[in-house]
Amino acid sequence: KISVFLFIFLALGLNSCKDYLEEVNPSGLTADSFYATETGMEALVNSCYMPMRYWWGKEGAGSLTELATDLFLKGGDCHHPEVADQNASFNSQNPLLDVYWSRFYAAVNYCNTAIVRLPESPLSADLQKRRLGEVHFLRALYYWLIVETWGGVHLTTEPTVGVVTTAFRAPVTDFYALILSDLDIAIANLDGQVNHDGGRVTKPAAEAFKARMLLTNGQYAEAATLAKKVINDYNFKLYTDYTALWDINNSEGATNSEVVFYVNYSANNQINTADENFDGNTYANAFRKEGGNQLHLMFTPRYDFHAGMKLDIINSIGFQRYCTTRRYLELFNSDIDQRYEGTFKEVWFANGGNIGTYVDMVQGDTAVFWHHKPLSPEFKARVATKYEAKDINDLFNADGSYKDNRNFIEMHKHNSTTDRAAIFEFRSKRDAFVIRIAEMYLIVAEASMLSNNTGQAVEYMNLLRTARAKPGHEADMQITAADLDIDFILEERARELGGELHRWFDLKRTNKLLEYVRQYNTDAKNNIQDYHVLRPIPQTQLDVITNPGDFQQNPGWQ
């Protein structure tokens, strides 16, 4: 309750929360009286949205979805090396998991409270129906994150009243039954709501997320049918230029033609608020710095360590949390597929740093060039006095590990080149894209393949690949039924969705997590265990329950 009220008072614009944290209520408001007002009910619904900002656009989510996969290794300043390595330090004491367990279950409780309170609210019947659709969608979203992360843990649809010290496991099937039921309610209640409204849930967003859930739940024919509906019934369109899709000027989810659902951020940092008590030294404090999208920092190397380069706004700050694997780079045929150039950054231009030994370097010209293919000795000799040139073999050791994990080809989708006022302004206005229409094509392809409708699978895969072809190479991008298997699907999902917080879930869903990590990830391949397809339940939770016999740790974890 305190957390719910805290979100409500913040939503109302009150400047200080100190008194409320001390459980003083100078206004005399109670839950019943506050929720009996339109303002109170709208604030409660808004509180159901807010926890999304702790996941989408944030470092913790990036670590739990991109590290320990085939696409990313830990960078030189990775803040979650235990996740990257899947070593003994990644256990039930992990504070990152503790934060997300608490955030997700708090989010579920906000949704449960809203679902119970909305039918008796003073909102108009039409608005009440829409808001119920939104919170049912959000509850499904949070429960999906919970069940895929921890498996069949605690499931409740009732608001928490007082302190609860018991927990009971529910089967995974019960979670998915509730998730799909919630999404059916959302779709029915949001009928006609197809336009973005400040990041609120729409009917196509609910349908698209249900298609993802049907695929995850093994209902393949239904998933394909619903994903096709989202493609055909609305105005979403694939960009013909994949680089433009990620341009900061197209970063508003409401106006980007590919975005079905997004978490909205703002250019106004008074809205993208950061907690004044943030000190950056603990995971808990780091998550309190909720304002703004921060992913533009996470995939960036220390380019400023190199001749001709210094930190600037355009190139962001080299936080070097995650570096791309050789496997990820080699998934692309960059001669025909525009997604390579739209995903990665290989060139940095001299911006005034010390030029060192590069006597022919001119400001504004190339300073650093790291290439995903081998460069000829002749090329390297020709540019030796002009700029630094390294190829894939210069960057990687023979086993696929990095020679220096501060220096790598940047995954550049989340770039924030022009919207920050200063170099050390961390927060970006870039909206976090949760669902893009491209995913629907991939769902149709995978679900159709798995339901023995190979012709439809190839058709929709080729529709997507044609849109992503470099001009003149559309025919080269086409595949046949002989090319299609689950590994190709996952390769295509990496080419399209890499770095967008999907990968760990994709590998788990397809039963490829262990295989791919052991084959492609030099950080985690020797440590990952079969039981790592689930994460450990935080020990802080297990320590306080009074029925430990009914609610025990996930198998294998300490």
State residue 270's pLDDT score.
Answer: 57
Higher model confidence: residue 414 or residue 1?
A: 414
Of the pLDDT bands very low, low, confident and very high (cuts 50, 70, 90), residue 287 is very low
Q: Is the confidence at residue 542, as pLDDT, over 70?
A: yes
Burial class of residue 335 (count of CB atoms within 10 Å of its CB; 0-12, 13-18, 19+): exposed
Q: Report the share of the chain in percent with pLDDT over 90.
A: 82
Residue-level pLDDT at 36: 87
**Per-residue pLDDT reduced to its tens digit, 213-223:** 999 999 999 99
Name, in order, each residue with C-beta under 8 angstroms of 459's C-beta and a sequence gap of 6 or more. none
How large is the greatest C-alpha to C-alpha distance in the chain, in angstroms? 78
Which of 434, 522, 536 is CA-nearest to residue 69?
522
**Which pLDDT score is estimated for 266?**
76
pLDDT in tens, 353-400: 899 999 999 999 999 999 999 999 999 999 999 999 999 999 999 999
What span, in angstroms and rounded, lies between the C-alpha atoms of 321 and 77? 5
Q: What is the mean pLDDT of residues 282-287?
A: 44
> Which position has the token pair 């943030």?
278
Q: How far apart are CA 558 and CA 556, in angstroms?
A: 7
Segment 253-268 mean pLDDT: 90
Three-class secondary structure assignment of 355-411: CCCCCCCCCCCEEEEECCCCCCHHHHHHCCCCCEEECHHHHECCCCCECCCCCCCEE
Listed in sequence order, the residues at least 6 apart from 247 whose beta carbon sits closer than 8 Å to its beta carbon are: none
CA 360 to chain centre: 42
Q: Which of 226, 196, 218, 201 is nearest to 140 (CA)?
A: 201
- At 513-530, the pLDDT tens digits run 999 999 999 999 999 999
Given a cut of 70, whether residue 7 has pLDDT beyond it is no
pLDDT at 215: 98
Residue labelled with tokens 């997300």: 100
Answer for the pair 424, 280: CB distance below 8 angstroms, yes or no: no
Tell me what the mean pLDDT of segment 17-41 comes to.
61
The H-or-E segment that residue 343 falls in is: helix 339-343
Instruction: Write down the pLDDT at residue 138.
Output: 98
Instruction: Count how many residues are written for the chain.
Output: 558
Residue 421 pLDDT: 75
What end-to-end distance do the CA atoms of the chain give, in Å? 31
Does position 419 have pLDDT exceeding 70, yes or no?
no
Q: Which of 41, 12, 38, 46 is nearest to 27 (CA)?
A: 12
Cα 389 to Cα 387: distance, rounded to the nearest angstrom: 6
Integer Cα distance of 352 and 423 in angstroms: 15
Q: pLDDT tens digits for 309-327? A: 999 999 999 999 999 999 9
Q: How far, in Å, CA of 283 to CA of 247, rounded?
A: 30
3-state SS class at 237: coil
| pLDDT tens-digit readout, 394-406 | 999 999 999 999 9
What tokens does 222 get? 């239904």
Q: Which residue has the tokens 């367990």?
A: 101
Q: What is the pLDDT of residues 460-484, one digit of tens each?
A: 999 999 999 999 999 999 999 999 9
Question: Measuring CA to CA, how many Å separate 496 from each of 142, 296, 331?
Answer: 24, 18, 11
pLDDT band at 450; cut points 50, 70, 90: very high
Q: Tell the residue number behind the tokens 């995954």, with chain if given.
A: 411
CA distance 186 to 61: 25
Measured distance CA(160)–CA(146) in Å, rounded = 17
Q: Are 421 and 405 in contact (CB under 8 A)?
A: no
- What's the pLDDT score for residue 5? 36
- pLDDT grade for 441, boundaries at 50, 70 and 90: very high
The residues facing 323 across adjacent strands are 73
pLDDT of residue 26: 44
Task: Assess whether pLDDT exceeds 70 at residue 3.
Answer: no
User: What is the reported pLDDT for 292?
Assistant: 84
Beta bridge partners of 347: 369
Note the pLDDT of residue 275: 41
Query: Whose CA is closest to 142, among 118, 114, 166?
Result: 114
Helix (H) or strand (E) holding 213: helix 203-216
Nearest-angstrom CA–CA distance, 93 and 154 = 19
This prediction has a pTM of: 0.92
The pLDDT assigned to 268 comes to 64
| Residue 426's pLDDT band (cuts 50, 70, 90) | confident
User: What is residue 406's predicted lDDT score, i.e. its pLDDT?
Assistant: 96
| pLDDT for res 161 | 79
- Closest to 261 in 3D by CA, of 251, 269, 253, 270: 253
pLDDT-derived band at 29 (thresholds 50, 70, 90) equals low
120-149 per-residue burial string, b: 16 or more CB within 10 A, e: under 16: ebebeeebbbbbbbbbbbbbbbbbbbbbbb
Mean pLDDT for the chain overall? 90
**Predicted pLDDT at 274:** 45
Are the CB atoms for 339 and 332 separated by under 8 Å? yes
Count Cβ atoms within 10 A of the Cβ of residue 225 and give its class: 0-12 exposed, 13-18 middle, 19 or more buried: middle
- Per-residue pLDDT tens over the stretch 67-114: 999 999 999 999 999 999 999 999 999 999 999 999 999 999 999 999
Please give the DSSP secondary-structure letter assigned to residue 212: H
Q: pLDDT tens for residues 152-201?
A: 999 999 998 778 899 999 999 999 999 999 999 999 999 988 888 889 99
